[in-house]
Structure 1
Amino acid sequence: MNRSQGNGNNLPIRVLVVDDHAVIRQGLRMLLESRPEIEVIGDCENGREALLMVERNKPDVVLMDVVMPGLNGIEATRQIRKASPATRVVILSGFVDEDQITGSIRAGASGYLVKNSDVTELVLAIQTVNRGNQYYSAALSDGFDIAELQLQARRPEQKTGVDTLTPREREVLQLIAEGHTNQQIADELVVSVKTVEAHKAHIMDKLKAKSRTDLIRYALRRGIVKLESVDEAERSLANLAGGSEE
């Protein structure tokens, strides 16, 4: 049980804010710090930093962006829930689709908010999940049947695509898609280049990919990584297609 849970407990809810945009992090901090029932214990810019902060500080609730460099919010949520089961995660995303919602549920998130939610809904979501319940933004009800998506996410099914990858393979896939070389990935994950190459081979086999370019296209389609414009995406794909690390 979280330290702020329970009847008669007036301790503030300890919240960690995770988003790769500094302006959004600062804005969320400002909004939440104006509320006496919330204590913002920190903020960070990617999933890997979030995991380290959760292991160290054990926040009650994490507000988690989805598409971030290094380790995305869905995979970070999965790892956080294993490392600190009492910590609840609320996904806070500007991009919403069915795969993202079901992915967050499978990863163990307790709630899902769109980024244009006001501070009242933000605090309500934090309080709701901190009590052990779930919260989904009212804005989602216009386009999604949340109850059906919850059933779908929990229904046993044949794993395909990214769902067949191990947690480490998902990390490697994201880093490849972000344009990192094998050596850079090895340095980031503190493993050998041979280990990275082995992970890449397994990923390509599972996803039926023939090149790094195929992996980038797959990651873009699944929302694992984001590029600021179509032109930038095309330039990155073209550069890698002409590179040596196929």
Structure 2
Amino acid sequence: MKSIKVLLVDDHKLLLEGIDAMLSNLEFIKIIGKATSGEEAINEANDKNPDVVLMDIIMHGMTGIEASKWIKEQNSEIKIILISSDVSEELVQLAIQAGVDGYLPKNVDKKTLVEAVKTVHDGERFFSKDVTKVVMDAMYNAKNKPKSKPTKSSELTNREFEVLQQLALGKSNHEIADELFISVKTVETHKGNLMAKLDLKNAVDLVKYAIKNKIIEI
């Protein structure tokens, strides 16, 4: 059996090595490369032409969803499985829109991970039970879900909008401060104001909001 060439992508090296350990001892899977960012994943996919890419979603810089779209545009034959601790409806829908072939939670067991790699390599989609439930629940509740008033990004100040863009691109407080020529404390203040205005809890929610509202494109 010809080996399935796999590219691993995660900005947390411990998790990257953990996935590597689960797959590297299998005869039919060959780890051909590792990347720690979406930008690096695009370059590695272009250079090494993997059969399957296993990639985190929320990373420093470009998100896995953005990187998936770029990789698919370069080579639609490459199969992509996103792995995330967040299996929310918004992220799952964005992942599907980006054309990914699978979606798994980060606590996935070895058996399911291997099954997912083999399934997408064979040309089929693979979504874990948790992810499938999210999709089915969203479809079932879509007609009955009351429409909530959307928060308009136009309600943000110009500076808040700039900070939101930078946060959504995965930049740190210090990087944003340098980019916008403001203090780190001011960045933190803007972050607090953004989360209050948009009714969001953390930076991950800000990324999802920015993608959904096309503040950053996928």
TM-score normalised by length of structure 1:
0.62
Which one-letter code corresponds to 1:15 in the other structure? Answer: V
CA distance in 1, matches of 2:165, 2:24: 32
1:121 to 105, 112, 129: 112
Secondary structure of the residue aligned to 1:89 is: strand
User: What is the alpha-carbon distance in structure 2 between the residues aligned to residue 143 and residue 41 of structure 1?
Assistant: 32
Counterpart Cα distance in 1 of 2:25 and 2:110: 10
Residue of structure 1 equivalent to 2:207? 224
Question: Structure 2: how far apart are the matches of 1:66 and 1:161?
Answer: 25
The structure-2 alpha-carbon separation of the partners of 1:33 and 1:176, relative to structure 1 and needing over 3 Å to count, comes to closer
The answer for the alignment partner of 2:66 in structure 1 is 75
Unpaired runs of 5+ residues, structure 2, are 143-150, 154-163, 181-188, 209-218
Letter in 2 for 1:59: P
1:138-166 CA-to-partner distances (Å, cap 9, x unmatched) read 233455417949x9xxxxxxxx989xxxx
- The alpha carbon displacement at 1:83 in A equals 1.3
RMSD: 3.3
**Residue 178 of structure 1: aligned partner:** 172
Which residue matches 1:97? 88
Between stretches 13-22 and 135-144, larger displacement belongs to: 135-144
Structure 1 residue 50: deviation in Å? 0.5
Partner of 1:157: none
- Identify the residue that residue 24 of structure 2 maps to in structure 1: 33
Classify 1:184/1:84 alpha carbon distance in 2 versus 1 (closer, same or farther; 3 Å): farther
Q: Decide whether aligned partners of structure 1 residues 146 and 136 sit closer, same or farther in structure 2, where only a CA change above 3 A counts.
A: farther
Task: Report sequence identity in percent.
Answer: 30
Paired residues in the alignment total 177
The Cα shift of 1:79 comes to 0.9
* Contact map agreement 1:176 1:216 (CA 8 A) in 2: no
1:107-186 alignment runs, 5 A limit = 107-145=98-136, 148=139, 174-175=168-169, 178-179=172-173, 180-181=175-176
Who is 1:45 aligned against?
A: 36
Asked whether the equivalents of residues 60 and 170 of structure 2 are also in contact (C-alpha less than 8 Å), the reply is no
Deviates more, 1:49-58 or 1:170-179: 170-179
Cα deviation 1:153-209 (Å, max 9, x = unaligned): xxxxxxx989xxxxxxx9856337533348759xxxxxxxxxxxxxxxxxxxxxxxx
Task: Describe the SS at the equivalent of 1:62.
Answer: strand
Partners of 2:88 and 2:134 within 8 A in 1: no
Q: TM-score scaled to structure 2, two decimals?
A: 0.69
- Secondary structure class of the residue paired with 1:145: helix
Q: State the shift of 1:34 in Å.
A: 1.2
Unaligned runs of at least 5 residues, structure 1: 1-9, 152-159, 163-169, 186-210, 226-246
